[in-house]
Amino acid sequence: MTGTSKDTCLVRAFMHTPTEPLGYFERVFSESHVPFEYVRLWKGEPVSAGKATHLVFLGGPMSVNEEREFPWLVEEKDLIRKSVRRRMPVLGLCLGAQLIASAHKATVYRFVNETGWCPVHRAPEATGIFSLFPDTFPVFQMHSDTFHLPVHSRLMCRGDTVPHQGFRFGSAIGLQFHLEMTRELIHAWTCNERKFLQQAITRDTERYLAASNALCRRVVGEFLEQKC
C-alpha cells in the first residue's frame, strides 16, 4: 500500500464488548477529521480490514487464549500478523496488546490484577513519540493478564508490578494500559467495585485524566502519521 495522509485515513476498530469502545480516541479522531468505524465482534461481524488504513484492537473481558469460546480471536490474530507483514499501522489496547503479542508467538498468561490509576515508566529504549513521554506517568489499568514480549519487539513502557506495559513490533503498537478513558467510561467500568476503590479511582481521575488524554493525543498523532 502507498503512504497516507490524515485526509485519506480510515480507522477500523475491533470491539469485543459493547462496554469498551474507542472512548477518548473517538474525540481525537473526530477533531482530526479522521473517519472511523467499528467491527462489533460479539454481534458476529466479520474480522476484516475492509478499506481501512489503520487498525485498532480494543479491550475486553476475555483472555486471548479462549479461542474455543471466542473463535474470532483466531481470526483477529491472523489479521494482525498479515497487517504487520504489510506494514499497516496496528494499535492494541489492553486485550488488543495481548492479541498482538499472542499473534507473534509470545505467551499471554494470568498474572496480577491491576485496577485503577497506576504509575508506568518510559523505558530507556523507547522510540518515537514514547521517547518524549515523561519518565513516569499515571495510566488507567483494568486487567489481570500479561504477556511476554514477542521476539524482535521493543519495550516502550514498563511497570513496577507488571513489567510489560507498552511495546512496538514492526508497525504495531501494544499498550497494556487504557489511554481511551473518559469519566463516563471510568464510572461504567468501576461502578461495581468496592466503595473504597471507587472513591480512590474518582479522586485519582480528577488528578490524572487530563494528562492521560494528552498522552492519548500524542499516540494518535504518531499512529495516524505511520505509513501503510
| pLDDT digits (tens), the chain, 228 positions | 334 455 689 999 999 999 999 999 999 999 999 999 999 999 999 999 999 999 999 999 999 999 999 999 999 999 999 999 999 999 999 999 999 999 999 999 999 999 999 999 999 999 999 999 999 999 999 999 999 999 999 999 999 999 999 999 999 999 999 999 999 999 999 999 999 999 999 999 999 999 999 999 999 999 999 864
Length of the chain, in residues? 228
Angle between helix 195-225 and helix 24-31 axes, rounded to 10 deg: 30
Query: What are the backbone dihedrals phi and psi of residue 96, each rounded to the nearest 5 degrees, phi first?
Result: -60, -40
pLDDT at residue 155, as a whole number: 98
Exposed e or buried b per residue across 1-29, where buried means at least 16 C-beta atoms within 10 angstroms of its C-beta:
eeebeeeebebbbbbbeeebbbbbbbbbb
Q: What is the pTM of this model?
A: 0.95
Note whether 92 and 99 are within 8 A (CB): yes
pLDDT at residue 127, as a whole number: 96
Grid-cell match 530507556, residue found:
124
6-225 has which fold?
A: Rossmann fold (3.40.50)
- Non-local CB neighbours of 186 within 8 Å, separated by 6+ positions: 140, 201, 205, 209
pLDDT at residue 187, as a whole number: 96
pLDDT at residue 6, as a whole number: 58
Note whether 173 and 90 are within 8 A (CB): yes
Dist CA 22 CA 139 (whole Å):
16
Q: Return the domain boundaries, the chain.
A: 6-225
DSSP 44: T
Query: What are the backbone dihedrals phi and psi of residue 222, each rounded to the nearest 5 degrees, phi first?
Result: -70, -40
Cell of 61: 473481558
pLDDT at residue 89, as a whole number: 98
pLDDT at residue 210, as a whole number: 98
Residue 217 burial (10 A CB sphere; 0-12, 13-18, 19+)? middle
